[in-house]
Amino acid sequence: MSAPDIGARERELVLDVLSSGILSGGPYARRFEQMFEQYLPVSHAIAVSSGTAGLHTCVVAAGLQPGDEVVTTPFSFVASANCILFERAVPVFADIDATTLNIDPRELEARITGRTKAIVVVHVFGQPVDMDPVLAIARRRGVFVIEDACEAFGAEYQGRRTGTFGDAAVFGFYPNKQITTGEGGVVVTPHDDVAASVRALRNQGREPGDLWLEHSRLGFNYRLSELHAAIGVAQLERADTLLANRARVAAMYTERLAASHDVDVPAIAPETTRMSWFVYVIRLRHAIDRDGVIRHLQERGIPARPYFPPIHLQRYFRERFGYAPGMCPIAEREAARTIALPFHGGLSEEQVDFVCGQLGQVVREVAGSRR
């Protein structure tokens, strides 16, 4: 499905860390943070052990208390909602825009109540959320905005990079992401107090002035190791190339699939001035057996996945909150026809041709069998 782009520079810097003997709390983590601050740009970047860890620290920094409500999207990786549950707050799901698959600002505002303390927006698949109306809603309602930009490194909304809009934002660097640290993430914020909170939270609750065994607040072990940070430094050094390679592969897929009557290719919104390709997700026309298509592709040696099943229909969300089908009809409808195709920056034209050719055959066979 995916493959990280790791080269000589990454190996060089990892070996430098191993030679130094400093495996945690050293210069590479800070260097990675400084490079990230310059790239966006943003006032504060705090490296953490994963995107999920970053989301958790943001929820804590937002001051959420048990029973507080957070409006978010049902169409995302589950971590964007799990982080709300970690603090015993309540996720409230707003339906999505059928074109971009991002949270619909109109639905978002309709879900805000007097108990709403925060909004978590997710830039799904590397396409920025329509942030202007989201920020206007947040200002009117006085709620904290968290951007889950874990899938959107390098994406731009109206010429401005994702991660620079909210009160805090999080990027993730799992191996399938646009840049990787193996495991890791970064929290970014323009606010000094939020940055101070996240730095303490990631480091067992230690605040400036605390000794190693002094802990001013409850915290976590969410630090990023020097080995992971070194990989991140090397990846950031060639970030534009990595993004361009993925855009090249996405363009090949779109060129080959755009004329299909059975497949909808990803649509890019006018406000998206740079799409950052995390995955390449197509949607089958309604009435075509999506799961059957996936099964037949896998039988032909082509990995494919449904992306994403709606969060509110995950078993423990249904059992805990009583969420049920019909609550977010657009998300449910669109999720049922998604297929993520093999995607990374190293795919060749021949590989893309093979995937598209096999996909076309399988879709015709599956669609024909239903007639």
Residues acting as catalytic residues? 177
CA 49 to centroid of chain Cα atoms? 15
Q: Can you tell me the distance from the alpha carbon of 43 to that of 191, in angstroms, rounded to the nearest whole number?
A: 8
Q: Contact, 143 vs 118, CB < 8 A?
A: yes
Nearest to 365 by CA among 284, 296, 264: 296
Residue 311 DSSP code: G
Residue 88 DSSP code: T
Q: Contact, 345 vs 248, CB < 8 A?
A: yes
Q: Contact, 225 vs 183, CB < 8 A?
A: no
End-to-end CA distance of the chain: 31
Q: Can you tell me the distance from the alpha carbon of 178 to that of 276, in angstroms, rounded to the nearest whole number?
A: 8
Q: How many CB atoms lie within 10 A of CB 244?
A: 12
Structure-derived torsion over alpha carbons of residues 198, 202, 204, 207, reported in degrees to the nearest 10: -40
